[in-house]
Amino acid sequence: MAVDREALARELLVSSEMAVEGAGFLQQERGKLVLLLLCCNAVLYVNRANLSVAVTFMYAESQTAERVHVLAAFYYGYPLAQIAAGQWSARVGGKRVLLIAAVIWSVATLLVVPAYGLGIWAVCLARAAVGVAEGVNYPAQAALLSAWIPREERSRAFSILTAGESVGTMCAMLGCAFLAHAAGWQAVFIASSVLAMAWACAFGYIAARSPEASGKVSAEELAHICQGRGELDSRGALGWQDVPWGQMWRSQAWIAIVVPHVCFNWGYYLCLSILPDYFQTHFKAAYSEMGILTVLPYATLFIVDNLVGWVADGLLLQRWGWSLVTIRKLCTVLSLGGAGSFFLVLRTLPSCADSHCGALGVAAACVTGAVGIGGISFSGFQVNFLDISPRFSSQLMGMSNTIASLPGIFGIMSLSWFNGSFKSVFTFAAALEFLGAAWYLALGRAEDQHYEVQASQPADCVGPQTSLTEGCRL
C-alpha cells in the first residue's frame, strides 16, 4: 500500500507540536538528557573546585608558590584535548567521549592523594590530568545538544545544564571544607572521585548519543527535534581532512564568540580561584563566614542562569519574536558589562583590620553580582556555537575553549603580576569584560554559517526544508 510521505510528515509535525505543548520540556527524553548533563557539570565542578578549598589544608599559608602552582596545574591540562574532543565527539558521538572523560577525571582526582607523598610535581601532574579530561566535557556536550535540542530550546537547555557549574561549586566550597576538617583533606578527593564514577555509571546506562539511537524517544518528539535542530552530519562521518578548519578559524561569527569567551573566563576563573584568599587576606574574614561568602555568588549564578534561559527562549524568542542575534547580543552585553561594573566597584574598596568593617559586605555583594550576572551569558555568546553551525558545534566549542582556558592560567598569575594588588587585578578584569561586550555587540551573529566541506556527506536531518520522513530516521 502506498504511503503519502508528505502527509505523514505534516501529521507528525502537528503531533509533535501537541506533544510539546502537552508535556513539559524536562519530562521528555531530551529534557532528561539535559538534567543528566546538569548533574555532570555539578560533578565536574566538584572535582575542579575541590582543590581551591583543599589547598589551604595541604600547604601552609607561607607556601604561596606551592598553592599557585597546584591551582594553575589544572589549567595547563585543560586546553590540550579540546579540539580533538570536538572532532572525536562529532565522529563517534558525544556520549562515548564524555563517558570516557568522566572515568579518567574521577581516577585522576583520586590520584592526588598518593601523589601528595611524592611531591608537588606529582600533584601538579595529577591535576593536569584532571584538566585534560574535564576539557573534553563541553565539546562532547555540544555534540549531544546539536543532536538532541531544537534551536528554539537551546537557550533554556544550555542554561539548565550549565547551572550544574554553580551547584558543583557550591557543593565544593561547603562540603569540601567540612570533609577536610572532619576526615582530612584526603577525604575531599576520595569523595569527589566516587561521586564522578557514580555519575559515569548512571550516564552510561541512561543516555543515548542521539534521539535516533534512543529506544525511548516517541515519534512525535523525534519529529519535533529533527524539525528544529538544523543540519547535522550523518553519524558524524567527516574525518579530520574533511572538516573546514580553515573556514572556521577565519570565520567572523566564531571570532565574535572567542573574544568575549576569553574576557568572560578571565573574570570567572579569577573569582573561582582567589575568592577564599581575597576575603581572608583583604578583609580578615573569619572561617565561619567563608561558607556564605564563597557560596552566595554561585547560588545567584544558578538562579540567574536558569531564569534568563527560560526568558530568552520562551518569552523573547517564541512569544515576542525577537531575532536570535538580538537576544544573544543583549545577554552578552548585560553579562559582561555588568560584571565589569562590579569589578570597578571592587577596586575601590579598602582593606579591613577585622571582619566587622562595612567594606566586607559591599565586597560580598559585588562579587556576588559579578559572578551571578555571568549567568546571563549562557543565553548569549556561550550557546552561540550551536547557532552558527549545529553541524560543527563541537569542533567550534573545542576551538574556542582551547583559547578561552588560558585565563585559567594567567588570571591566577595576575595577582603576582600586580604585586598582590587586588585593586589592579580587578581593574584589569573590568577592562577585559567591557572589551568582550563591545566586541560581541559589533560582530556577533546567530545565523547558520553553512561551512563548506570537501567531501559530500549525507545528513540525518537538514532542517525544515527537508521532509521529516526523508531527513530523519523515524
Q: How many CB atoms are closer than 10 A to CB 60? A: 10
DSSP characters for 152-184?
GGHHHHHHHHHHHHHHHHHHIIIIIHHHHHHH-
Identity at 119, one-letter amino acid code: G
Residue pair 48/74 in contact (Cβ under 8 Å)? The answer is yes
For cell 573566563, the residue is 265
Tell me, what's the pLDDT at 12?
41
Interacting residues of 178 by C-beta distance below 8 A, sequence separation 6+:
none
Residue pair 416/273 in contact (Cβ under 8 Å)? The answer is no
Q: CA–CA separation, 468 vs 470, rounded Å?
A: 5
Q: Count of H helices and E strands in the chain? A: 22, 0
Residue pair 347/378 in contact (Cβ under 8 Å)? The answer is no
Q: What domains are defined for the chain?
A: 28-217 (1.20.1250.20), 243-449 (1.20.1250.20)
Tell me, what's the pLDDT at 37?
97
Q: CA–CA separation, 232 vs 459, rounded Å?
A: 6
Helix (H, G, I), strand (E, B) or coil at 233: strand
Residue pair 279/363 in contact (Cβ under 8 Å)? The answer is yes
Q: CA–CA separation, 93 vs 335, rounded Å?
A: 32
Whole-model pTM: value is: 0.79
Nearest to 55 by CA among 36, 39, 69: 69
Mutual angle of helices 252-283 and 29-58, in 10-degree steps:
40
Give strand pairing partners of 294: none
Backbone angles phi, psi at 233, to 5 degrees: -70, 145
Q: Three cell numbers at 462?
A: 537538514
Identity at 13, one-letter amino acid code: L
For cell 519535533, the residue is 224
Tens-level pLDDT at each residue, the chain (474 residues): 444 445 444 444 444 443 444 347 778 899 999 999 999 999 999 999 899 888 888 987 677 778 888 988 998 999 999 999 999 998 888 999 999 999 999 999 999 999 999 999 999 999 999 999 999 999 999 999 989 999 888 888 988 998 899 899 889 888 888 898 899 999 999 999 999 999 999 999 999 988 988 888 888 888 888 888 866 654 445 667 688 999 999 999 999 999 999 999 999 888 877 777 778 777 777 766 667 777 888 899 989 988 888 888 877 777 788 888 999 999 999 999 999 999 999 998 887 766 567 788 888 899 999 999 999 999 999 999 999 998 898 899 999 999 998 888 887 777 778 777 888 889 999 999 999 999 999 999 999 998 877 554 444 444 433 333 334 543
Write a three-state SS string for 120-149: HHHHHHHHHHHHHHHCCHHHHHHHHHHHHC
Q: Three cell numbers at 16?
A: 509533535
Q: CA–CA separation, 261 vs 343, rounded Å?
A: 17
Backbone angles phi, psi at 341, to 5 degrees: -65, -40
Task: Rounding to the nearest 10 degrees, give the CA dihedral for residues 174, 180, 183, 186.
Answer: 120
